[in-house]
Amino acid sequence: MASLAISALQKAVKMCHQRFVYTLVETPDDRLAWSPGGDAPSPLQVAGKLAGFMQVLAYYTRTGEFPPRPSSPPPAPDSREAVAAALDAGYEALQSTLSGLSDEDLVRRVPAPTGTLVDAGVMVALIPTVLGYFQGQLNAVQMAYGDTRPNVPENWGSD
């Protein structure tokens, strides 16, 4: 493992995962595939995108390159169980990749999405912001159907 900073990052990623999964668990069955309308995604679609993006982040963090883009995005999981499995697989891939990072990995130059070369450690440090974006998307759908609770797990982050 690279450093204490990676350990803290892994804890932040774990907390992001716990909150997202908890919010999804708190989503009523009749709202899982519900969309507020137009192009707005359903909770299952948001969760499916997050699961896929965690795999992209794991690949990028391992290789310093973005994976080839598929011609079309995969379909959203169609059930609570399928999305939970996809989220757990993405989370495990990301955590496994983070745990294997060395100090040398963190100073390796990698392309940012703009093409600018930056230290990999900078890109890795941004992972929680990406996960937070998806939490915000899920919260926006939640608010659209009238759930105004923050949906934060009890004792969140205390382990």
Share of the chain above pLDDT 70, in %: 99
Place 2 in a pLDDT band, splitting at 50, 70 and 90: low
Q: What is the pTM for the complete model shown?
A: 0.92
For domain 4-66+74-144, is the CATH number 1.20.120.450?
A: yes
- Phi and psi for 127 in degrees, rounded to 5? -55, -45
Cα(49)–Cα(53) distance, rounded to whole angstroms?
6
Q: Residue 131 to residues 121, 145, 146: CA-CA distances in angstroms?
A: 17, 22, 23
Q: Residue 68 to residues 60, 73, 90: CA-CA distances in angstroms?
A: 11, 12, 17
What pLDDT, on the 0 to 100 scale, is given for residue 157? 87
List pLDDT tens digits, range 24-52: 999 999 999 999 998 999 999 999 999 99
Share of the chain above pLDDT 90, in %: 82
Domain boundaries of the chain, sorted by first residue: 4-66+74-144
